Amino acid sequence: MAQDIPTSRVRRGTAMGKLVAVQAARGAGVALSTVRDSDEERALRIEQALADAAEDLVTVLGSMKGLAMKAGQLLSTFDVLSVFGTKSLTPQQRDRFQRKLSALYDSAPQVPYARMRAVVEAEYGQPLDQVFAEFDERPIGAASIGQVYRARLADGRAVAVKVQYPGVDVAVRADLKNLALVVRLLRTVMPALSDHALLRELTTHLAAETDYRVEAAQHDSVARMYRGHPFIRVPEVLLELCTRRVLVTELAEGLRFDEIAALPTAERDRVGEILFRFFAGTMLRERRFTGDPHPGNVLLAPDGTVVFLDFGLFKHMDDTAVDFEIACARAAAEFRAGDLRTLLVDYGVLEQDTTASAELCLRLFHEATGWLLTDAEIRIAEDTAATAILAFLDPRRGYFQHLRQQYAPAEHAIARRVEYGTLALLGQLRAGGNWHRIAREWFYGEPSRTELGVLEQQWLTEISQSAYGV
């Protein structure tokens, strides 16, 4: 069980440093010992080392909460082993590591109930039983900023109550200061980071996440946006019960992500399309998006609808930004290399004197986003997202030296987080589909070609007609 959350910048930075040092020492030990091992002994040693590494990550990042735990949750979504080139591991070893790490989004170390109850009562200024008729002491989820409990109101409604960890707001501010230091250290590698636009964006949004009133308003706007949708559900928010450190929504129940990933192929494909439509469609159609696609925020309800949770990071994009995203996607899909490079330069992503050729820009887009640009049925592999990200970061790919000076406006950088986070979810589901044909609904305004797309288009038409009194 978690004790007090470390809140000072030094303590949190030291904890992260020790974690990195331990993993480095452990990796060196495994490398030395496996020189003399048989193949069987080597496999056992590596599996144990991976299990220990995952346990350390869950324990340290989970107990730190805040931004540190959010980083761990992000790692749990991606196939991080492929980033480190561990292709020789067996499927069992890789699966064990990911399963251990996935504990960060649904079973991280918990803060004792007595301390969490004190937060609730301080927020409401009255005893817990005067606000809720029932309140289960056992949390049903442990997130990066707070724990979630099952409760019941006096009128019988079942609700989910997210309670903020005591002191986590101070911890987040400490993490953001440490993040600023890391960004400064990376300037020599990625000079564009010196602009700090992305850091300012993250600072604004992550600091806002510690005020649940902001999240409640954002959550409510998404719930209203998708009210009555045929296969997407966002729980309603009880705004009158939300405070700075307590967020109350209707209770949503269903299969968790690991259970969804174990379903038959057709069902996984269906959920995959819904995830894609929600995360990508909301951005491209509604000009808004939630910036935190990870397994802990998705449930499959008994009626077949997919439930989306957690709207602490929510972003509006102006029409110019979305039009730029669409124009780049169309140019890349149509192999118009010259137009793509011109778009990137004119928008300011690339410098006027960039060494990146039109052909290089086109090749990068197809390597990083080929699953979305290719008109074919594609089943997403578990390492697809990690491999796509490596296209930008791995000097061996041939893009890094040309693009290290690129400037990614903050909202587009967060949009890439959503894109690759969604891709990582699709990879964990091993979902298949013609993603390009779905995307053409937003890129070109073409009619839907899937059963789910037709249902969604009918719903959108009904909403439009209702708005105009038709």
Residues 6+ apart with CB under 8 A from 176: 67, 202, 203, 206, 207
pLDDT in the model for residue 310: 86
- The CATH superfamily label for domain 109-168+204-251 reads Phosphorylase Kinase; domain 1 (3.30.200.20)
pLDDT in the model for residue 30: 45
| Nearest-10 Cα torsion for 386, 307, 244, 200 | 30
Residue 256 and residue 307: Cα distance in Å, rounded?
A: 10
**Residues 250, 159: contact at Cβ < 8 Å?**
yes
Give the model confidence (pLDDT) of 247-274 as tens digits. 999 999 999 999 999 999 999 999 999 9
DSSP string computed for 220-250: HHHHHHTTT-SSEE-PPB-GGG--SSEEEEE
| Nearest-10 Cα torsion for 185, 190, 194, 200 | -90
Residues 6+ apart with CB under 8 A from 264: none
pLDDT in the model for residue 393: 61
pLDDT in the model for residue 438: 97
Give the model confidence (pLDDT) of 451-464 as tens digits. 999 999 999 999 88
pLDDT in the model for residue 179: 58
Give the model confidence (pLDDT) of 96-132 as tens digits. 656 655 655 555 557 889 999 999 999 999 999 999 9
pLDDT in the model for residue 430: 96
**Residues 300, 320: contact at Cβ < 8 Å?**
no
Q: Residue 66, class by beta-carbon neighbours within 10 Å (0-12 exposed, 13-18 middle, 19+ buried)? A: buried
pLDDT in the model for residue 422: 93
Which residues in the chain land under pLDDT 70?
Answer: 1-109, 170-208, 392-410, 467-470
Report the predicted TM-score, pTM, of the whole model to 2 decimal places. Answer: 0.74
CA distances from 468 to 222, 242, 465 (A): 21, 33, 5
Domain limits, the chain: 40-108+170-203, 109-168+204-251, 316-468
